[in-house]
Structure 1
Amino acid sequence: MTTAPGSGIIDELRWRGVLAQSTDEDALRAALDAGPVTFYVGFDPTAPSLHMGNLVQLVTARRLQDAGHIPLILVGGSTGLVGDPRMSGERVLNDPEVVAGWVARIADQVKPFVSFEGPNAARLVNNLDWTAPMSAIEFLRDVGKHFRVGRMLAKEAVSARMNSEEGISFTEFSYQILQGMDYLELYRRHGCTLQTGGSDQWGNITSGVDLIHRVEGVSVHALSTQLITKPDGTKFGKTESGTVWLSPEMTSPYAFYQFWLAAEDAAVDWYLRVFTQRTQEELAALAEETAARPQARAAQRLLAQDVTTLVHGATTTARVEAASAALFGQGDLATLDAETLGSALAELPTARVSPGEPLIVPRLLAEAGVVPSASSGRRAVVEGGAYVNNERWADADAPVPVEQLLHGRWLVLRRGKRTLAAVDVA
């Protein structure tokens, strides 16, 4: 729900643990209070989907819009062709046709997070619109002349690459000029006076602030958000392992839900403040509930539900929750649709079986890695600890009837209460 400017959005972002840096906080606070402020946040199409690291920016854009401000969501058709310098080395440049396809995908992906209607309606913009018509001479004369190489070299990623064996190409070195030009163009075209982004983008963001001051003689604002890191301290991004994508084709909604359900106790309160709309009062009550019954993991369950609903919708979240419950014997596996069940089982150790092959449970348990050997699987059956589709399996030698295959393809194996595996007959 949109509120009037002056509703304390800076204090809101600070309480939520989102705010990392800003140019002049007093001036920014005054501008936001006086509002509405037109702001922008950019996403480069260097992959076919946004990921968890981008979700902070999308949620922050929604909060700013709810506070009465006007979002410009930039998808970088030109900057995506170049790539922001990485600490680890030069990027592989993607073909323009590939990048154009990713621009379209990401543009569709960001649309549900902000409103494109009303007095502070969001607008999608693409920086290829103003870079493509510009000649190299115009770029150097009109934009490049305002940048000082010494300051550009001081940027953290640039400095690291300059001191590496590989070095840095002029292409990636120029990225910060392109991003600075984006801010200038959006200031001129739409009156944009605030850029937001992750704290790892601070050098690029302030390049735009400096450029506008040099060219237009006005002061504009910048705000960066805290990076959301994994337990090992690395950020959620495209180049590190374990990426959690927003696209359901690249990270299934079930896997997405399970990621948040598995959040560490030490991080869950912060995640709830950053990614959900829950109020201070709601989270205080949840903290009391969690302290009283920590084994119930109420905070993680609420986090998984809220964030999965935010990204994939309430209907998909309900299906995922039903699948999660059914896999552990708290629901009917037969009621799950094939897509949801298949996505859930894809996250489990799996025994792959050819059609017509006898489905002998001790062997399947071993092939799926639930037990070390078929003899151990036989022992699990005899001792009453083996389940097929949530039913205790009692005969170690009898094959599972093909009629019990879920959707004609899958079995769910369980040993004891928590050890799960799948059988895929295909």
Structure 2
Amino acid sequence: MSRAPRTDASPEGPNPSTSSSAPPLDSAFTWHSESSEPAPARLSPVNDRLSADTALKRVRRGEFLLYSGDFHNAKQLLGALSRRLPRPAKARSPLEAFRAERRARQLEHETLSRIVVSLDRDYRLGLARAPDTSLACHQVWGASTTDTTVVPLKQLLGMLGAAEWRRKGLAVPGLTGLLHPHYGVYLPTRTDYVELLNSVTEVKGKRVFDIGTGTGVLSFILLQRGAASVQATDCDSRAVACSQENAERLGLGKRFQVAEADLFPKGTADLVVCNPPWIPEPPKNRVDRAVFDEDSQFLRRFLEGLSASLAPGGVGLLLLSDLAVLLGLRPPGWLEAEFERCGLSVQWARSTPARHSKAKDASDPLHMARSRERTTLYCLKPVSP
């Protein structure tokens, strides 16, 4: 919970009919941000009369603009602000393009996150033409403990989109039944790694560890193909809740266990499967952790601990994109050197080209690398003494 010392008056102040959506002067409010940003010291009320040019000037001065007015106008303001931000210059290399794109995305996040809205104790949004936000917020945050919650509008929109995915479910190739992803858990819309896992034939009766389970999709595919049991782990509580709920929905709850843990559960398994974050860069927020792994720490520790988690005759299944190599973030041969350092041998490897939309989008700043991206499934065993 955060205390708002003041709510500043503004030339673009709220209309009388919508001012109730702003926290009262000096009221306490709960602040939510995926980036762990501190709560605003003050909120500046604005409404539909605010132009995008004026908004950009004010957020660049460090203001947090508390929007009260029309919901669709608020969304249009976010779009207009985004279009006014500088675009990365043409890069001379994939690495330069990657760095420029990350800086641009960070600037966009810092700018758009200063357009905020307030919700009441039931997480209702008091803007005209606003959708029902209560369910989406309860799913992510649980019950409110204060009368007012303040959140960046951009984040709230992401939560609403995730709630819709969770409601209708997602079809995944090779999975019987729908997957229902939660907000903040990596959405498995890329199917290349799932298809590679489906090529593994020796599954029946195996005891499995799934490291960094996310939605649990890899666990569920293996269980539906005859694996005896899965013990899954994830460092994010939202992934733990998501995978547990999906296991129950799919009728796999009796053979699936999940715990919030760092890497391996206790004991050993016949199969240890992992689809780790593939970009060795620092994550900038909680959601980033599914993709970004600073200095490859997660991947290194997985490889270092794999042998001790394998039962006699067991194997590790590592799914990894080579995008980091194509971007120049890892040198060629780095992964093979890590296998050797950790006493692991590659029994076999199978690869497939990336099929996601960005791999085909020539306008994407990273198209030069993404168009050549491949995902590989490595079958790993400890080197015999």
Normalised by the length of structure 2, the TM-score is 0.25
Query: 1 or 2, which has the higher strand percentage?
Result: 2
Query: 1 or 2, which has the higher helix percentage?
Result: 1
